[in-house]
Amino acid sequence: MKYLRFTIFIFIFFQPLFAFNNGIKNYIDSTTLNQIRKIYYQAVEDEDKIDVLQELIMKKFSQNLGTYPPVILAYYGSLDALRAKHAFWPFSKMSYLSSSMEILKKAISEDPNNLEIRFIRFSILDHVPGFLGYGDELNSDLHAILKLLAENNFEHLGSDIQKGIIEYMLRCGRLNEEQVSLLKNKCVLVSSK
């Protein structure tokens, strides 16, 4: 009996450590995630914020990308897409974009039904010329976003983020009339929360 109590104590006391070492890496405190989101949206227009965000992510989550929760990996991967946006030389733009897409592909493979991750990649690819060959990924993300919004399966996202995603999707010009109608109704529902 004493052995059983000791074993239970050890498990409860060290369980978070065991969980992290066994690959469960999805815990992110909301303050950190909101800070990352805020700086990311600033970095879209301000190139200097890219390095600020990279330093924050590396400080909070280490330099080992393999340990990042999928949504953090997605934000980290999007940094190279932002570098591509701000780069001058076409070769640099392509190199950054390719790197970004590889990391985002990994984040999506780890959490394919994460609305935020899908939206990050979609919003990047929405601005990439079609001849670069990312049409399949763009369409995959579009359909996944619409499906996830229809299912209401994204409790971890606040209504302001949901509404922002819906508004972006309505403005992007890639939806048919039925999809626009669906999202307009969804936007009304989200606004009333």
CA-based R_g, the chain, Å:
19
Residue 166 is assigned to a structural domain of this protein: no
pLDDT of 140-157, one tens digit each? Answer: 999 999 999 888 756 678
How many independent structural domains does the chain possess? 1
Candidate from 2-6, 50-54, 105-109, 161-165 with smallest mean pLDDT: 2-6
Residue 167 inside a domain? The answer is no
**Residue ranges making up the domain that contains 8:** 2-111
Does some domain include residue 47?
yes
Question: pLDDT tens, 95-117?
Answer: 999 999 999 999 999 999 999 99
Instruction: Report if residue 145 sits inside a domain.
Output: no
Band of pLDDT at residue 10, cut at 50, 70 and 90: very low
Give the pLDDT confidence score for residue 18 in this predicted structure: 33
Residue 89 is assigned to a structural domain of this protein: yes
Q: Answer whether residue 26 is part of any domain.
A: yes
Q: How far is CA 33 from CA 17, 18, 56, 72, in A?
A: 21, 23, 11, 8
The answer to the question of residue 98 being in a domain is yes
Residue 23 lies in a domain: yes
